[in-house]
Amino acid sequence: MKKALPVLFFLAFFLLSCGPARLPDPENIPAPPLEADMPPVEKISLANGMTLYYLEDRELPLASVSLLVGAGSALDPPGKEGLAELTGTLLRTGGTKTTGSRRVDDELDFMAAEVTVSVEKEMTWIDASFLREDLDRGVDLLSRMLVEPAFEKDRVQLARNLKIEALRRIPDNPSGMAFREFFSVLYGSDPRGRLETRQTVEHLDRPDVLRFYESHYFPGNVRVAVTGDVTRREAVELIGKHFRRWNRAGTRTSLPDPARHTGGGVYLLEKDLPQSVIVTGQIVAGKREDDYYAFEVLDFILGSGGFRSRIFSRVRNTLGLAYSAGSFYVPRGGYGIFAAYAMTNGGATARVTDEITGILESPGFRSLSGEEIAWAKNALVNQFVFSMASAAGIARQWMINDFNDLPEDFLSRYGERIGRVTPEDLEQVSRKYLGEIKRPILVLGKRETFDRPLDAFGTVHEIPATY
């Protein structure tokens, strides 16, 4: 130990004499963009009308099964909002005609498997993962849940009560509450904008669930992906064996794209808080449009790119007016949702709203540097590559693309098309979709705390919370 002390003193002296260490900025470390080596997903049409997506991955002795059903909450009948989600929940928890709900839970636990159901606006996902040795048994159970659901009465009541309790707690999450109400304002009279409430959910019953299931759950409205440690032949035989008996016909229900322009104005959601949540945005280009790729880059530079993005940098870093700020872009097939947001102190509400609208109205894309554009492009391509890291993720994207009627080369050419976006493209889409277009602004907060009235941003509409 004594011999080591002089060495330690020497190292300490050397490090101090070199001055403070300068660590490189991780954002500026040069690195080439990642390239996606995307294996092709095979599509197979089954005799009963289902479409099977298959991709092999032998890295682990696991297999994933995902089903996309073309039915979501936008198809809830008026006055029965929440029905699609209740139906999806009960597919998992409500038992089957041959296997009670408790037995289903026991079988999944025995296989250490999990089946999850998530209901979106336009589709429902049913996802499962099984050990290779349990795959036949797991798909058999999964098929029974989908093909012969029992929708047990006591489980209907339990699922309904749990949903009512979740709705009751919405005010506990102000940002979630604000986004929920903003989407309703943005969609307007479109079915996608209708929200479930405790009142609509508490009147749902088992016959409602059965009617929704019979209307929207049939083979021609279902896509299934099998990926992982399974051969093509095994996948085809497995799905055919367990879903062969499901041959009920049906008619798909499709919704037209929502209207692009919903108008401006301020929608004030009063809540007794010292903070405010501000959300503004509009319906923009979708994945089937040429403007999609430029808008991806535009959104990344504006707010979804994190610390270096313009909204975050200006509102949070430079002015220190928000503890969270940014934007997001959710593209569908024929349309997309763009929104910018900030969570701030009530006393800075009007100023933050002014800053965000100013950035959107005059984003200054003529002054973009090549470095800023390259940063956004590389980051988007890298994010895309990482999203394709698993066979299940790739197959999932293929199903979404087919659901949205996108060309088969959409995924394989994503990086190339992002790379072709020019400064002129960015200026063109910023003028077309942003500029001085009137867009709704939702503000959740307490009016008395605001730094100035919000009528400078348009007519103020006080709206009630719907939960």
Non-local CB neighbours of 451 within 8 Å, separated by 6+ positions: 347, 348, 349, 350, 351
Q: The CATH number of 266-462 is which of 3.40.190.10, 3.30.980.20, 3.30.70.20, 3.30.830.10?
A: 3.30.830.10
Question: Hunting for tokens 């019953």 — which residue is that?
Answer: 205
- Over the Cα atoms of the chain, what is R_g? 26
Cα→Cα distances 228→65, 234, 325, 392, Å: 9, 11, 39, 7
Domain 42-243 and domain 266-462 have a common topology? yes
- Residue 44 sits at φ, ψ, to 5 deg, of -130, 125
pLDDT at 120 (0 to 100): 97
Taking each helix axis from N to C terminus, what angle separates 83-93 and 135-147, rounded to the nearest 10 degrees?
140
Question: Where do we find the tokens 């909450």?
Answer: 73
The closest of 310, 349, 344, 314 to 327, measured between CA atoms, is 310
Residues in the chain, pLDDT under 70: 1-37, 363-367
For 323, half-sphere exposure in the C-beta direction (CA atoms, 13 angstrom radius) is: 7
pLDDT for the residue numbered 90: 98
Q: Give the pLDDT of residue 33.
A: 53
The CA distance from 197 to 207, in Å, is: 19
Cα separation, 430 vs 310, in Å, equals 14
Q: Which CATH class is domain 42-243?
A: alpha beta
> What token pair was written down for 274?
């010292």
What pLDDT does residue 3 have? Answer: 45
For the chain, what are the domain ranges?
A: 42-243, 266-462
Of residues 377, 380, 340, the one with CA closest to residue 361: 340
Q: What is the pLDDT of residue 10?
A: 40
DSSP per residue, 31-83: -PPP----PPPEEEE-TTS-EEEEEE--SSSEEEEEEEES--GGGSPTT-TTH
Which two tokens mark 282? 């509009």
Q: Are 84 and 73 in contact (CB under 8 A)?
A: yes
- pLDDT, position 6: 42
pLDDT for the residue numbered 37: 64
Whether the model clears a pTM of 0.95, i.e. scores above it, the answer is no
- Please report the pLDDT score of residue 32 as a whole number: 54
The DSSP element (H or E) to which 350 belongs, if any, is: helix 349-361
